Amino acid sequence: MKKIAAIIGGGVIGGGWAARFLLNGWDVRVFDPDPEAERKIGEVLVNARRSLPGLSDVPLPPEGVMSFHDEIGDAVDGAMWIQESVPERLDLKLKVYKSLQEACDPGAIIGSSTSGFKPSELQEGASRPEQIVVTHPFNPVYLLPLIELVPTDKNTPEMVAKAKELLTSVGFFPLHVKKEIDAHIADRFLEAVWREALWLVKDGIATTEEIDEAIRMGFGIRWAQMGLFETYRVAGGEAGMRHFMAQFGPALKWPWTKLMDVPEFTDELVDMIAEQSDAQSGMHSIRELERIRDNNLVGMMRALKAQNYGAGAVLNQHDAALKPGALPNLDQADLSQPILTLSRAVPLDWTDYNGHMNEAKYLEAFAAATDRFMEIIGCDMEYISTGGSYFTAENHIRYMQETHAGSRIECRTQMLLGQGKKLHVFHSMYEGETLLATGESFLLHVSLETRRPSPPSPEIEAAMARIAEAQAGLPYPEGAGAAIRKPA
């Protein structure tokens, strides 16, 4: 069944929701009376297509179809998920829900992006209050995994479970907030930091830039991986959290902050902050700032992914859900042709100062293709745990065309030799039907106990023989066996 999401309100947040669903294979229907909505969401999509697919090391599903509608009823027709992202006015939201529930499927989930209203307020007067729930995201919605999922006792456990399942399926981390409160959880922290920052600026202690430097050069990086309490647990040393609280707890009585007080939003304060902010980052357009932000987020999140920690663990879980069927196995592949061994998008952190994919990352891609070929013939992690594997003895890469962040690449692999201890493969990297590069690898099967060449298992020998027979009619690939020529 085709998955359909309706996006009600196509601003920055609504556009981010649209991109997240669309790039994960859902059809997206947008309702927004703003005549500029299609242009604005289109610009968000440009950045999302460049950054989101590169978080995954397996291909995302084929992109869904986006459409724009003049009537709410047309937008929600057949939708299983409806995301409301209209301005933060309770009267407007309640009016929208009335129109939604008159037109939508009673089984559809209506999520609200509200950063402050409680779900009980949103459900007030609704014909089906059990259908409405808070699903508060963080910008950029297409990259950051956190969704604060806030239900009430009118939402059934089955509905909450379904909401979690659907959100997880598009790569979100749904944090189930079990007791409703104004501004939920995360925004209450943000509000506290925001209040203190306003006082620091007003009192002339720090500029907007200095405050941002204090966050991004220090605790912001720590929080990105460990959050607040785990960070402080580490700060307690071997004695742990109890020691930290005993050591720093008394500081809570000191007059360090003004969290219970807010400076008056005078024109003078607003002008001061606006001028400092312009001086800090006014040299960049909003779209440039979004791309800088996305570059940094992808790099940090992929680093966390390598450690399977924090947001990186969420990405790995999403990859694991996408991986089955993403690439063929021995029985699914057309062995008479070069075998698909890699399909993915080029991540932002694979590009270099020239704006194209770094030469070393071609080797990383070809190495991943070799690993997949090894899995196909039976040299998978289970086999390697028994004491055998392939070691690469020689590589040769030819660079044919540039490729850029967000490009969808494939590697197709021809086995030139697979016999005894020897494995010789030739990878061709494509974007569409454009040949980008070739990578040739010669490998030897090795005993991990002796670290010396050894025969592979009979099953691997049989798999290689099967591929060799099927590919016997293929021409020897152009460039195979080539070397760098000596200058004349």
Residue 11 labeled ligand binder: yes
Annotated binding residue 14: yes
Q: Kindly tell me the sign of the dihedral angle through the C-alpha atoms of 367, 403, 434, 475.
A: negative
Is the peptide bond prior to 140 cis by the omega test (within 30 degrees of 0)?
yes
DSSP state of 392: E
446 is in an annotated binding site: no
Residues 6+ apart with CB under 8 A from 307: 225
- Has 16 been labeled as part of a binding site? no
Nearest Cα residue to 122 out of 57, 34, 182: 182
Long-range contacts of 419-426 (CB under 8 A, 24+ apart): 419/461, 419/464, 419/465, 419/468, 420/445, 420/455, 420/461, 421/445, 421/453, 421/454, 421/455, 421/456, 423/390, 423/464, 425/370, 425/373, 426/338, 426/477, 426/480
Q: At what angle do helices 311-322 and 157-169 cross, to 10 degrees?
A: 80
Tokens of 155: 């939402």
Report yes or no: 24 and 170 within 8 Å, Cβ to Cβ: yes
Question: Which tokens is 149 given?
Answer: 């999922």
The terminus-to-terminus CA distance of the chain in angstroms comes to: 63
Alpha-carbon gap, residue 365 to 352, rounded angstroms:
15
State the Cα torsion 144-150-156-158 to the nearest 10°. 20
DSSP character for 61?
P
310 is in an annotated binding site: no
Is 432 marked within a binding site?
no
Residues contributing to the annotated binding site: 9-14
Residues contributing to the annotated binding site for NAD(+): 9-14
